[in-house]
Copies of this chain bind each other. A is one copy, B any other.
């Protein structure tokens, strides 16, 4: 009482953890709210007391991942004074974060897409948010004279897609290697692509 982390918040957190567990094991559509309830040691009604729908749980989870990724990336970029190194840091952080949260990543990159038409808007928003971050970075590079002018809109999308695919492959692979091994070649490729 009084302190953040009330019982309700704790429950919500437990439910989200359980949902992540369940969704990433069975997929969004094949997961029953009952599964989430059981896994979070609550009852179905308990889940519905805290979330209005199954969809809302998924959305909350997506937000959680986006926040995590975004804040980490921003932080690591801010920590680097050098423009080119900012990009390297962001890439490293992203790969590291993904590698650390394979389940959330699966949710984010795989389940979310096909979960249903209802989520498309949300996913698009998330892609746009990330791409915008990259575009900002590239635009700064152009303005500050680090790189020659280029179509940063497409470039940022392509960068995002490149990382995305590398990670998706790792997520889909049943016997995945070490995701962070991709860092060096990927960095090289991306840098060169913009003429660095």
User: Residues of A with Cβ closer than 8 Å to B?
Assistant: 26-30, 109-117, 120, 123-124, 127, 150-151, 153-155, 157-166, 168-169, 172-173, 182, 184-186, 188-190, 192-195
Contacts and interface: CB of A to CB of B under 8 A. Distances in A.
8 contacts: A27-B114, A30-B116, A30-B117, A111-B113, A112-B114, A127-B165, A162-B165, A192-B194
Given A150-B188, A185-B155, A189-B154, A114 B29 contact: yes
B189 A155 contact: yes
Q: How would you classify the secondary structure of chain A's contact residues: helix, strand, loop or mixed?
A: helix
B157 A169 contact: yes
Please give the count of copies of this chain that the complex contains. Answer: 4
Nearest to A184: B151
Nearest to A190: B193
A43 to B, nearest CB: 14
B166 A165 contact: no
